[in-house]
Amino acid sequence: MPTIVVDVMPKAELLDPQGKAVSGAFSRLGVDEFTSVRIGKRFELTVDGEVTDDILAAAQRIADEILSNSVIEDVVGIEVVE
């Protein structure tokens, strides 16, 4: 069944305390390959049947209105995965 993947990340200009915590853990564990970490959400919406333009439009709408908080988050990607 096709799946629509919606990616939501904290806005770039905001602090991401969860990401900062992981970044701090990296330092303590001696992982120095990565300069920063940000943590967002990945939603997998299962569609029963074909993904039509209407369903994609619905996904875009709920991504903006329900799955993300536009004050602090951006929807960074919506893609169809088979």
Which residues of this chain interact with its own copies, rule CB under 8 A? 1, 4, 7-9, 19, 22, 25-26, 29, 31, 33-48, 54-55, 58-59, 62, 66-67
What are the two backbone dihedrals, phi and then psi, of residue 66, each rounded to the nearest 5 degrees? -115, -45
Closest to its own copies by CB, 25 vs 72, is: 25
Instruction: Give the up-direction half-sphere exposure of residue 76: CA atoms within 13 A in the CB hemisphere.
Output: 13
44 burial class (0-12, 13-18, 19+ CB within 10 angstroms)? exposed
To the nearest whole angstrom, how small is the minimum distance from the Cβ of residue 67 to its own copies?
Answer: 7
- Closest separation in Å from C-beta 30 to its own copies: 11
Nearer to its own copies, 71 or 77 (CB): 77
Neighbour count for residue 68 (Cβ, 10 Å) = 21
Shortest gap between Cβ of 13 and its own copies (angstroms)?
15
**DSSP state, residue 62:** H
